[in-house]
Structures are given as C-alpha cells and as structure tokens.
C-alpha cells in the first residue's frame, strides 16, 4: 500500500495545491470526490470564510480533504482553532515550521503535512511530528524556494523517513512517473487544477494558463529574498524593471497590493498577479478535476510500461 | 535500440557535460572508455590546445567522443576547422544556434547536438539539421537558462522529433530514471563527473562538491540576464551583494575576471568561481568515470523495477 494514500485516505496519492484566493470549497470537493485530496487555501482568509468552505466540501462529498494554513498569516491561531473544531482530516502548511501547532492538531485527529523547499526544513518538521512532507521545487507557482524538483525530491527523500510528496513541475503522467522515480511517494499538483471546470478563478486567468509556453513564467521578488512565480505580463515586467533599478521596496509593495484579487476575481491578467507554475506550457485544456486525476495516473502507468525498457535496450551489451 | 546510443555510438545513452576549463582529453577519454560520450570543452581554448586534447583521447581509447564549442567564443571558426580536420565524431554546442556551421560539420562526418534551454531554440536547431538536442534545466552548473528539467524535458520532447537528452539535476540512478520518464532518451551529466578520478580539477574543488548540500549553489548574474550557477562562496556572495546594490557592471566584470581558473587550477574555492549543479548534494564520493556510468544505469534499472508498481499499488480500487 502506498504510504501517501494510507495517510491521506485517498484513492490516488495526489494533493491539490493550495492556490491562495483560488482554492475554495468547490475545487477541494471536486478533487476529493475525484479520488485525490482537495485543499482549501486559508491564506488571507478569516475563520468564518474557512468554516463556510469546509461546510461546502462536506455537503458535496464525504471523502477526506484538507486545509492549507500559511504560518505567516496574522490570524494563524484563529485558523488553527477552526480546523481543530471542524476536525478537518489533513492540514498542509506553508512558510515555515508548524511544529508548535502539531500537538494541538494531532489531538484533534488532524494529520499535518508541511510544504518545504529545503532539506533542513524537511528534517525539522519530521522531528516536530509531521506525517509527511511536500517537497516543492522552484518550478511551482506562487511563493517559491530555489531548489528544483529534480534536485529537491531525492535529497529530501534521503534525509527523512516520512513520505515525500513531490510538488513543482508535475502536470501530466510524465511528471507523476518522474516524481516516483526521484523518490516521491505522491504528488502535489497546482497549475493543472487551475483550469479544472470546478475551479472558480476568472476565465481570463484560465485562458492565460492554457496559452502559456515553457518561457511564460518569471520569478519576481528575487531581490527581496521572497520570490513569487507568475505569468510574465505587464505587471510582472514592471516589478522586474523596478527590482533592476533597485527601486524602493515600498514602491514595489504598493504596486503589488491587491494584484492577486485583481487577476483571480476581476480577470485582469495584464496588471493582476497571475500565479502559475513553469509547467503551464503542458496544460492545454479545461477538464473536470476527476478527469485530470484519472488521466495523470493512467498516463503514468502507460509511461512506466513503455519507457522502463528504453534505458536497458540502449545498451549494446 | 535507444536512439541516443545509435547517434553517439556508445554503450550507454550518456554524455559528459562540457565543463569549461575542466573537461579535457583525460576526462573525455575516461568517460568514452567507460561507455559514455566524453566531451572536450573547447570554450576559452585555442585550436592548438584542442588538437592536443583530441590526440590525448585517441591515444587512450578508440571509442567515440565529442567536442563542445561555445558559439560566442571569438575563435569559433578556428575551433570548427579543427574538429572538421580531426573528424571528431560528435560536436555539442552552447550559447545559441549552430545552424550556419552544421553543413560544414556534417560534410566532415560530424553529428551536431546543441545544448538548449528553451523550446523555441530546440525547434530552431532541429530545423537547422541537429541530430539531437540536450535540454538543459536551470539546476545545471555554469551558464544556465530559467526552465527546470521537470518543465523543460517534456515540453522539448513534445516540440521536436529528434531525441532529447536531459541535462540538469541528474547525478544518480533516480535522476536517470526520471529523465527517461519525462521523455528524455539519454542524459548529460556534469557535476558527478567533476569528482571522477580522471578529472583534472583542483582537489579543493572536488572537496567542495562532495561537501555541498541542497542549498549550496546560487545563481549569480541574474541581474545581467546571464545567470551562472556556482557554489555559494565568498566570491559569489560578493557578486550577489554588488548585484543587489545595482553596482556598475564593469565593477562586477572586473571582480569575476580570471575566477574560473582561480578555482579550477589554483584550488582557491573562496574567491574562485566553483561552478556546480544544484544536484551536488547527491555527489558524495570520488570514483572512476567508468564506475560512475555503470552505477548510474544499474541504479536506474533497480529503480524501474522497485518503483513502477508504487503508483498503481497506491490505488484502493
């Protein structure tokens, strides 16, 4: 039995990425009903909103689901209280070490799976009692670290005993198969779910993902040490220009205020922040969350069968 | 038959990375004799040096080998003449489209395999007559693009009919297996060969690679649009500070002059440029080139056998 499926209680070893302002109860319910682990992104939201989204998921499916909590959120304690009261099955976390919350979460019957971008943090969260880790490569969308998935997954897998779930660069069966070869025991997929029928992001945002190419994303904010991967649009170019000119950080912050909502809700994909993974170039059509999950694993199986002989057959011996 | 082995004439579908100032005839001969394609890095060298290294390889092995030519080298025409006169079996190229040299190289019986970092360049070099492409992810050492291997290999594989050779992030059997899953038909490995017994780089450089962790490399030069991945040492931190301060480019250039030789030849790993891939954290011991190649593919085979069932067994159905 795959350890990730065992921990998550899902049919497939896949977690939906916690896209801030996007991943609500509708998307989480569709992913969970489709055999994966749907995630409500609580970053930037208040307790009442979160409670409402949890209710939405439970009305639509009795399958397990999760909530992602950004540890830098000013109301992190409130959000922790809500997931404990609601006895959410899984909590994933971003931006640090959730160690101090793990005892309380475990007491409420909640399993904790932190998202990490380095070996050091993976080891720290394992010691703190995490059930698994999501190792997120720099090709992922939104807030990112520096190590790529090819470099990060095997190094984290060597460093911890808990299962590693690979995130960053996984949008088709090839990515799923590669993640397993690298030492992952599951995958987290964000960008491909952005275009799920059940994803409530603006249509213009979905269209931008579908027409993206390999070179369409860029990391802004590298000069501040807090890089964010977005589609290269007017806003992103403006930010990069300001960073290059070594402009005042307050000026950049002001330019960025409200831009995620502008893209997600208003569909302004020129001056809004269109967060996306580098793998958007492989995302070519809108589908239901269930279709996406089934296609990912069906493709991965075919790839194992077709490709595992390639290497050996290459040998002249 | 693996198409990369067919093109290269090698036992294993593996090319040794063209580490500038490091990859000489000794290393190339050892890799070729070991079953891969050894490469002499001609970047920064003159025609006489290159001729001497080609002679060295031929004295040590009768197996096929290659020469890498940086297309921005001021003496590129001279180097092209040397490889044609010497009838080197394979030429790999960096920094652009070798299209205008391909007819001349083909006439001399030379196959051309450009290193590319984007889908657009892969398509251009295919049209120009390249026999295969090396798709190099940003996790590679030295001069790099932005797309990671997880994102680049499948997108290039979809875009061209010639074989794709995966570079960036491959240092053990897991990386080899992942590369094949992503759509690669071969791999290019640099960092792991840095610590080959037959590699003539300074011992202090090898030691630095062996003690590296997942977070040990950094990309300098991003502000100039010409990023270079190196081990984060005193020199790298100084460059990054200057870039952050938006310092004069001439000042940065002066600081960088001669730093590759300082690390490679003098073994000054504090103020020298220690180019390395992000995967250095997986490189833990010195071995012969032949041992490295055999271990990579033996591990990859074991991984196919052990892991291809994981995904399926995870399903509760």
Find out whether B125 and B96 touch, Cβ atoms under 8 Å: no
Rounded Cα gap, residues A19 and A140, in angstroms: 11
Mean pLDDT over residues B120-146, rounded?
Answer: 97
The chain B residue lying nearest A145, using CA atoms, is B215
Nearest to B233 by CA among B195, B202, B275, B203: B275
Percentage of chain B modeled with pLDDT above 70: 97
Model pLDDT for residues A114-149, shown as the tens digit of each residue: 999 999 999 999 999 999 999 999 999 999 999 999
- Supply B288's token pair: 């012969």
Asked if B308 and A180 come within 8 Å (Cβ–Cβ), the reply is yes
Strand order in the sheet with B228-231: B142-143, B228-231, B217-220
DSSP SS3 for B111 = strand
For chains A and B, CB pairs below 8 A equal: 209
Of B12, B303, B311, which has the smallest distance from its Cβ to A301's Cβ?
B311
The chain B residue lying nearest A306, using CA atoms, is B181
- Among the residue ranges A54-58, A193-197, A298-302, B180-184, the one predicted with the least confidence is A298-302
Percentage of chain B modeled with pLDDT above 90: 87
Asked if B314 and A138 come within 8 Å (Cβ–Cβ), the reply is no
Residues in A 225-284 with any Cβ partner in B closer than 8 A: 244-246, 277-279, 281-282
Find out whether A10 and A36 touch, Cβ atoms under 8 Å: yes
| Chain B contact set for A317 (CB, 8 A) | 11
pLDDT band at A309 (very low <50, low <70, confident <90, very high): low
DSSP A99: G
Strands B14-16 and A228-231: unpaired
Nearest to B97 by CA among B143, B130, B146: B130
- Among the residue ranges A31-35, B11-15, B186-190, B250-254, the one predicted with the least confidence is B250-254
The chain B residue lying nearest A248, using CA atoms, is B245
- Supply B236's token pair: 């790298």
The pLDDT, as a whole number, for residue B244 is 86
* Residue from B121, B151, B168, B249 to probe the interface with A (highest A Cβ count within 10 Å): B151
The chain A residue lying nearest B9, using CA atoms, is A316
Residue B249 has pLDDT above 90, yes or no: no
Tell whether B38 is within 8 A of chain A (Cβ). no
Mean pLDDT over residues B100-116, rounded?
Answer: 97
Find out whether A194 and A276 touch, Cβ atoms under 8 Å: yes
pLDDT band at A316 (very low <50, low <70, confident <90, very high): very low
In our burial notation (b when 16+ CB lie closer than 10 A, e otherwise), range A123-161 reads ebbbebebbbbbbbbbbbbbbbbbbbbbbbbbbbbbbbe
Asked if A151 and B222 come within 8 Å (Cβ–Cβ), the reply is no
Rounded Cα gap, residues A92 and A113, in angstroms: 5
In our burial notation (b when 16+ CB lie closer than 10 A, e otherwise), range B247-259 reads eeeeebeeebeeb
Residue B317 has pLDDT above 50, yes or no: no
Residue B235 has pLDDT above 60, yes or no: yes
Residue B168 has pLDDT above 50, yes or no: yes
| Chain A contact set for B137 (CB, 8 A) | 148, 150
Residues in B 168-227 with any Cβ partner in A closer than 8 A: 168-170, 172, 174-183, 185-186, 213-215, 218, 222-223
Mean pLDDT over residues A51-77, rounded?
Answer: 97
Model pLDDT for residues A148-189, shown as the tens digit of each residue: 999 999 999 999 999 999 999 999 999 999 999 999 999 999
Those residues with Cβ within 8 angstroms of residue A191's Cβ, 6 or more apart along the chain or in another chain? A17, A141, A171, A209, A276, A277, A279, A280, A283
Mean pLDDT over residues B275-302, rounded?
Answer: 96
Find out whether A183 and B174 touch, Cβ atoms under 8 Å: yes
Residue B247 has pLDDT above 90, yes or no: no
Find out whether B49 and B31 touch, Cβ atoms under 8 Å: no
Detail the DSSP E strand segments found in chain B: 14-16, 38-41, 65-70, 90-94, 111-116, 133-136, 142-143, 164-167, 186-189, 217-220, 228-231
| Chain A contact set for B180 (CB, 8 A) | 307-308, 310-311
The pLDDT, as a whole number, for residue A224 is 83
Mean pLDDT over residues A24-33, rounded?
Answer: 98
Residue B121 has pLDDT above 90, yes or no: yes
Q: Which residue has the higher pLDDT, B185 or A306?
A: B185
The pLDDT, as a whole number, for residue A308 is 63
Mean pLDDT over residues A286-292, rounded?
Answer: 98
Of A151, A183, A300, which has the smallest distance from its Cβ to B139's Cβ?
A151
Q: Is A203 exposed, middle or buried (0-12, 13-18, 19+ CB in 10 A)?
A: exposed
The pLDDT, as a whole number, for residue B307 is 77
- Supply A14's token pair: 């896949």
Cα dihedral value A172, A174, A177, A180, nearest 10: -80
Rounded Cα gap, residues B89 and A52, in angstroms: 66
The radius of gyration of chain A's CA atoms, rounded to the nearest angstrom, is 19
The minimum CA-CA distance between B248 and chain A, rounded to whole Å, is 12
DSSP SS3 for A144 = coil
Rounded Cα gap, residues A196 and A194, in angstroms: 6
- Supply A164's token pair: 């590693």
Those residues with Cβ within 8 angstroms of residue A221's Cβ, 6 or more apart along the chain or in another chain? A227, A228, A239, A243
The pLDDT, as a whole number, for residue B316 is 36
The minimum CA-CA distance between B298 and chain A, rounded to whole Å, is 9
| Chain B contact set for A240 (CB, 8 A) | none
The pLDDT, as a whole number, for residue A311 is 56
Residues in A 98-157 with any Cβ partner in B closer than 8 A: 118-120, 137-139, 146-152, 154-156
Residue B151 has pLDDT above 60, yes or no: yes
pLDDT band at B1 (very low <50, low <70, confident <90, very high): confident
How far out from the chain centre does Cα B195 lie? 14
Model pLDDT for residues B12-42, shown as the tens digit of each residue: 999 999 999 999 999 999 999 999 999 999 9
The minimum CA-CA distance between B110 and chain A, rounded to whole Å, is 21
Asked if A11 and B137 come within 8 Å (Cβ–Cβ), the reply is no
Residue A223 has pLDDT above 80, yes or no: yes
The minimum CA-CA distance between A297 and chain B, rounded to whole Å, is 8
| Chain A contact set for B183 (CB, 8 A) | 174
DSSP A224: G
Those residues with Cβ within 8 angstroms of residue B66's Cβ, 6 or more apart along the chain or in another chain? B15, B28, B37, B38, B39, B40, B88, B89, B90, B91, B92, B113
The minimum CA-CA distance between B82 and chain A, rounded to whole Å, is 30
């Amino acid at each position: 039995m795959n350890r990730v499926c065992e921990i998550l209680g899902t049919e497939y070893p896949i977690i939906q990425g916690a896209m801030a302002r996007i991943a609500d109860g509708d998307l989480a319910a569709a992913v969970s009903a489709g055999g994966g682990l749907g995630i409500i992104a609580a970053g930037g939201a208040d307790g009442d909103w979160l409670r409402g989204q949890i209710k939405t998921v439970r009305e639509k499916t009795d399958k397990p689901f999760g909530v992602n909590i950004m540890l830098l959120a000013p109301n992190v304690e409130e959000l922790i209280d809500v997931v404990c009261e609601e006895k959410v099955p899984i909590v994933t976390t971003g931006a640090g070490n959730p160690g101090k919350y793990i005892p309380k979460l475990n007491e409420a019957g909640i399993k904790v799976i932190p998202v990490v971008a380095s070996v050091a943090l993976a080891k720290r969260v394992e010691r703190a009692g995490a059930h698994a880790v999501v190792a997120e490569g720099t090709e992922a969308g939104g807030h990112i670290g520096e190590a790529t998935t090819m470099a990060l997954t095997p190094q984290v897998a060597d460093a911890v005993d808990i299962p590693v779930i690979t995130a960053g660069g996984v949008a088709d069966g090839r990515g799923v198969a590669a993640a397993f070869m690298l030492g992952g025991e599951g995958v987290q997929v964000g960008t491909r779910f952005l275009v799920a029928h059940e994803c409530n992001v603006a249509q213009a945002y979905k269209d931008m993902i579908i027409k993206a190419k390999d070179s369409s994303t860029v990391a802004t904010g590298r000069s501040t040490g807090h890089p964010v991967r977005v589609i290269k649009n007017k806003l992103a170019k403006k930010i990069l220009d300001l960073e290059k000119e070594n402009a005042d950080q307050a000026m950049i912050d002001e330019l960025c205020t409200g831009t995620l909502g502008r893209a997600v809700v208003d569909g302004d994909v020129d001056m809004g922040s269109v967060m996306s993974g580098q793998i958007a170039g492989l995302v070519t059509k809108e589908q239901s969350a269930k279709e996406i999950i089934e296609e990912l694993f069906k493709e991965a199986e075919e790839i194992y069968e077709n490709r595992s002989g390639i290497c050996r057959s290459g040998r002249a011996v």
